[in-house]
Structure 1
Amino acid sequence: KLEFDVRGYDQENITVRVTAGRLVVHAVQREAVDGRKTTNEFCRKIKLPSDVDSEKLHCVYSDNGRLLVESPV
């Protein structure tokens, strides 16, 4: 079980994928205020243990900005 703090990122801007045996959590938030554009980005890459079934990853996004990723072994 892994937990990520993604407060400040809209749920639709968060992606979770497995690439080359690594879990990749990526989020981007873009804003424009007074003609100025800002971009905030979150990225975590974690090597998955060999006994984790990446096909059965389950993600839950909570209202308090926490992303929980679980997988049976």
Structure 2
Amino acid sequence: MSSGLPTASKALGKFNLGLLSEPRVRSDRDKFVIFLDVKHFSPEDLTVKVQDDFVEIHGKHNERQDDHGYISREFHRRYRLPSNVDQSALSCSLSADGMLTFCGPKIQTGLDATHGERAIPVSREEKPTSAPSS
């Protein structure tokens, strides 16, 4: 029987990551997109890189003061990219409201996507972006 309240481990996990909502991953016919709420991090606090078939997103900020005292945050996320994502055309942006959007177009089946390791710069957008509801 569920009380409708999050379990302690689920609530604690979100608190520890500094994330307010669960990440959303969309993969349709034309593109692959990850939406990640990172409102407590600036672009300088974030590192996004692709290595082989994975995108790795790392956020870390040193101790800073908030309403309740001092806090430091760090998270790591790793996602497998679909094999038909064009890794040479990946982009990543951070909206004014703290939504990180990682996006890659898909290529036609049969063409070989570029693999290897490379950093993806995080650009800042001035307008808020909200992840679409599922």
Asked if the contact 1:26–1:41 (Cα under 8 Å) also holds between the matched residues in 2, the reply is: yes
Find the aligned partners of 1:54 and 1:29 in 2 and give their Cα distance. Answer: 28
Q: In structure 2, what is the equivalent of residue 16 of structure 1?
A: 48
Q: In structure 2, what is the equivalent of residue 31 of structure 1?
A: 63
Once the two structures are aligned, what percentage of the paired residues are identical?
31
Q: Which has the larger radius of gyration?
A: 2
TM-score calculated relative to the size of structure 1: 0.84
Number of aligned positions between the proteins:
71
Runs of 4+ in 1 over 6 A off after TM superposition: none
User: Measured at CA, do residues 32 and 72 of structure 1 come closer, stay the same or move farther in structure 2, by a change above 3 Å?
Assistant: closer
Q: Which runs of 5 or more structure 1 residues have no equivalent in the other structure?
A: none
- The structure whose RCO (Cα within 8 Å, separation 6+) is larger is 1
More strand by share: 1
Paired amino acid for 2:47? T
Q: What RMSD in Å do the two structures reach over aligned CA positions?
A: 1.8
